[in-house]
Amino acid sequence: MVEMSPEIIAILMFGGLLVGVLLGYPLAIVIGGIGMFAGVVFLGPMVFKMFPLRIIGLMSDYILLAVPLFIFMGTMMEISGTAERLFGALYLWLGGLRGGLAIATVLMGTILAACVGIIAASTIMMGLIALPSMLQRKYKKDLACGSVCAGGTLGILIPPSVMLVFYGPMSSLSVGKLMMGAFVPGLLLSTLYISYIAIRCLIRPEDGPPMPLEERAVPLLKKMGILLGGLVPPVFIVLAVLGSIFFGVAAPTEAAALGALAATILALAYRRLNWQTLTRSMLQTLRITCMAFLICWGATMFTGTFLRVGGGEVVTNLVLAMPGGKWGAFGVIMFIIFILGMFIDWMGILFVMVPIVTPIGTVLGFDPIWFALMVCVNLQMSFMTPPFAYAIFFLKGITKPEWEVTTGHIIRGVLPFVALIIVGLVLCAVFPQIILWLPGVMIK
């Protein structure tokens, strides 16, 4: 074993993590490799007993069964055609407003967030459905792209969220309470997004012109039917999952199974379910689940070594020494997570940082549910902050040359929405009941 101070080991481990990610290596290999190498060098052969015990302890947590079930539910919702029907309904009702199609895009993302919850699927789906319509109506490209990215990434926060399913076991918190606590902040961000679009297009009508009257000249009864047809299926899924959790009918794992069944029935009702689509959904579920758990295993080795060599105490002492009392320390934690979000996938940040910062939140005296969800709201920015910004690259990947949409358009479009997430964080800090109210009224 090599003797070295915890401060130097902490710098080497986090430095190696950032270098490995920036060089383009898979996150699971980088995190696991650094954890294993540092463990062998600084702790010796004991790591070969410590790592299996930590991994087995994590994987035996019953709540993690909800992960593949929620992913399967999202993939089935994707193939059911619900998004097209929903956008068609919102298109008719909101298209006559200035910025109406961008508002409809964010609303669609908000509703689908409670059904899909997979950033890649929701962003790509919304980009293919909503972006061409906005560009055809001469919407400003940055506004159109920003609304797609902002609306498409709400699924990682608004429950049911895979992020919250992982967060609960790592922090010994109730996943049900985390999901209830995330619901209002998610709606708050959606409201901020919609308000920004409406105000911008009120000041600058050319950024989001209304649809021509002839395109929305549909009888009221027909419009009502289209709206109900677009809204009822996702509401059915939301009630099946979140309603069963809120009223204490089912735990998150059982609610995930209920949601997967409801999404499958919906795909069957829309005649989109066949052997080919079922196979594709199962394979996609398998791929995403395996990727998530590989990162989980690697991060378990990383944090196991990091905490064992005293890195957790180094970070705790550093944060607590910051000026400004507990809010100064809290601000430092939020800033660190924000910066990491520019370079590392949210799963890596979650698995590495949660075991380190959760005890700090307890020492600072913050409510654990509030503290956890502030971290999750912060991570919402990681999808839209370059250079490592999933939503930007997903959207750019599906744009067609004739749309003439550049990466610059997308980056300029998401920056105001990143600023709005910061506003949302401040509001949740000033008014903690935004997060704590709904978990407080849950039926025990």
Q: Which residues contact 102 (CB under 8 A, 6 or more apart)?
A: 134, 139, 143, 144, 147, 197, 201, 208
pLDDT above 80 (res 385)? yes
Given pLDDT bands bounded at 50, 70 and 90, which one contains residue 412?
A: very high
Mean pLDDT taken over the chain: 87
In angstroms, the Cα distances linking 181 to 159, 160, 376, 441 are: 9, 11, 11, 10
Q: Region 383-395: what's the mean pLDDT?
A: 86
Is residue 245 within 8 Å of 70, Cβ to Cβ?
no
- What the block records as the tokens of 421 is 């997430």
Percentage of the chain modeled with pLDDT above 90: 30
Is the pTM above the cut of 0.95?
no
Query: What pLDDT score does 51 carry?
Result: 87
Query: What pLDDT score does 248 carry?
Result: 73
Query: What pLDDT score does 216 carry?
Result: 66
Given pLDDT bands bounded at 50, 70 and 90, which one contains residue 181?
A: very high
Distance CA 125, CA 132 (A): 12
Query: What pLDDT score does 415 carry?
Result: 95
Helix (H) or strand (E) holding 119: helix 119-136
Given pLDDT bands bounded at 50, 70 and 90, which one contains residue 85?
A: confident
pLDDT above 60 (res 444)? no
Q: What is the pLDDT of residues 225-273, one digit of tens each?
A: 878 877 888 888 877 787 787 777 787 888 888 888 888 888 888 888 8
- What the block records as the tokens of 47 is 């790591």
Which of 30-44, 76-90, 182-196, 259-273 ranks highest by mean pLDDT? Answer: 182-196
pLDDT above 60 (res 131)? yes
pLDDT above 60 (res 443)? no
- What the block records as the tokens of 245 is 């959790």
SS3 state at 172 = coil
pLDDT above 90 (res 387)? no
Q: Which amino acid is at 41?
A: V
Angle, alpha carbons 174-440-429 (nearest 5°): 90
Given pLDDT bands bounded at 50, 70 and 90, which one contains residue 215?
A: low
SS3 state at 137 = coil
pLDDT above 80 (res 170)? yes
Q: Region 377-396: what's the mean pLDDT?
A: 88
* Preceding omega of 68 cis (within 30 degrees of 0): no
Percentage of the chain modeled with pLDDT above 70: 98
Given pLDDT bands bounded at 50, 70 and 90, which one contains residue 424?
A: very high
Which of 88-97, 156-165, 304-313, 370-379 ranks highest by mean pLDDT? Answer: 370-379
Distance CA 134, CA 157 (A): 25
pLDDT above 60 (res 430)? yes
Q: Region 26-42: what's the mean pLDDT?
A: 89
pLDDT above 90 (res 425)? yes
- What the block records as the tokens of 44 is 């010796």
